[in-house]
Structure 1
Amino acid sequence: MAVLKMPRFKKYHLRLMLTCFSTLLLMTYWEKIDNSVVTHVMSFSYRYLFNSFKFINSSFIVHPEDAIKYNNHRYLINNQTKCDKKDILLLLFVKSSSENFERRQAIRSTWGNETYIESTLGVTVKVLFALGLHPIPEERGKLKEDLMFEDQRYHDLIQQDFTDTFHNLTLKLLLQLGWKETYCRHAQFLMSADDDVFVHTPNLIHYLQGFGQSNTKDIWIGRVHRGSPPNRDKESKYYVSRDLYPWLSYPDYTPGSGYVLSRDVVSRIYQASLTINASFHIDDVFLGICAKIMDVAPKDHAFFSGEGKAPYHHCIYSQMMTSHGHVSDIHEMWRRVTNAEDGPMSSGLFRRLYCTAVKVRLLCVPFFSNSYPCTAAFFEQDTY
């Protein structure tokens, strides 16, 4: 009888071992699973089932005397007369670091070339670079001289005396909002972008002009993140503790790589920032918190890339607004997009069908990370 029971015993023993092993494996990797899957499901559910975020008003608002310390950093370099011209369509702030001279030069000679924009597109766009202090004190002396020389030549640097680190990006956001409110309030739009982002300036200008003077209110455009959870991975630079933000989901926001605000939204968000605890170091989420307080909602645009890099193809260039991750190829990108209209099949039904097929192939590949969503393949230029 014992011999007959042995196979059954071994069978249950094997199941028990597999169960224990699976449990151990799950416990070992639970934090990663929780961060990447479970928290996203919970956050997304929280955003769409509750979506009030009433806690923000009571949790983040502080006394103005406490909030002002984040907004009163001293200007080390300031071009106060940059916006003296009255008719300015766009103030374009580029977040840069002191040592990134070559990136700034590339932008000045491509998509951020003010002279080209005015002569070719017939509008005034002012481009500025937002800077803090280099985090290594020994580097600041040499960089100070270099920056002074650079600014004497180009007159487009704005620097304040905070340390330029990832955890001070919110201070760089406040620099941009505060400078526009103080020195360039009449500009119709503000764009904030990183210095490794490519901005298709002609497309962007045409898009903003499409709003018309009477409709330039309540505008906040970019790649919208909805229902994003706080990152609880302590190894990540985006880590946010439960003490700092205990809730499951962030308010809707646009990634800091590139977004556009109308001037009334800038004013409202800036006013909110004067009452908010700006120690929250993730700048784009902080923007979303301020906007939520002021009841401002972002509008998703399929061709703002967020964190992704756009595929190289002329069918993409015709609708591109931003593409992230461009440093060494920025001149090549500028050449490609400015020459795209001179290529074959520049207009007509056949081109639209051809480009739709191309964009489906480039943007709709399962499990392939890219800059634009699959739905962008079916958008026409005027249907954003």
Structure 2
Amino acid sequence: MEKTRSWEEEYGFPFLYDGVRLLDMLEEYSLVRQEKEEEKRRARAEVEVERLDALKASKTRELVIKKKEELDEICRQAHMDADPSIENEKIMAIIDSGMFDPSELLASMDLQISKAKEDALSRTDIMEKVEKWMSACEEESWLEDYSRDQNRYNATRGAHLNLKQAERARVTVNKLPALVDSLMAKTRSWEEEYGFPFLYDGVRLLDMLEEYSLVRQEKEEEKRRARAEVEVERLDALKASKTRELVIKKKEELDEICRQAHMDADPSTENEKIMAIIDSGMFDPSELLASMDLQISKAKEDALSRTDIMEKVEKWMSAYEEESWLEDYSRDQNRYNATRGGRPFFWQL
């Protein structure tokens, strides 16, 4: 361009190249070249900006994920629900959109972490009791299974260890009602202080405790009914056993009266029938025993009314035996022989 200008100054007219002034061509080329260089710089700048934005987003993503994990761990240990606005998907969507201020986002995360720590700290006393309650519930469940095991007292390997564990579990389970009452009182106090429900894994703790108390009461009531039924069965069995003994004793007394008086007993008082009535359980012991006493009394009266006749019957039976013996003796052809025993026979005549 300098040479062309010098040439034009020297000769006094434009330097043309194929009819076009060379200086115009060179100036146009320089302008186009500058524009291209500027465009390249802008492109490099845009690439660098994009790289830095991507790096910023990546670093922000890493920091946010780290803080989110810290927040989740705090909430997990305290059994709290995290703020729905800071769910991973929502945070990642904000970061990917690029429409965010990293400092504000990280500051928001720090604020959430700080608040979660404060909430977790306020729940410490209650959570300690909840852990004790949960542990005691596990002991209670194990003890129920152990109590249902029909072979728990068998001399098997480890039986003595289970027995010791059952003793410890009973001690723990006996403390459960007081523990639950204390936990409910603390939870109500906490809710009154903070003005919102105490949630445990998204469920109101008071509702959990009330439901547990209701279920436990139902179980205790069922156990009481079962024990009452067992006791009733035991008493019924004992009553039947004692009644059986008394009835057998009275039946023996009745049979002895009838035997001595040579009377037939009432068929309704046969052993099989009486035992069947007792075993069926469909009887009133007092009525049964009263019936037996009545039978005995009647048998005694009948025996007494037969006394005179029975005395004569005994004499008659004795005489009949003598008569029978005499007939046998009379038929004996050797009755007068001097054999051993003959003399006493003769004397009996």
TM-score class, shorter: under 0.3
- TM-score scaled by length of structure 1: 0.22
Between Structure 1 and Structure 2, whose CA radius of gyration is higher? 2
- TM-score scaled by length of structure 2: 0.23
Higher-RCO chain (CA-CA 8 Å, sequence separation at least 6): 1
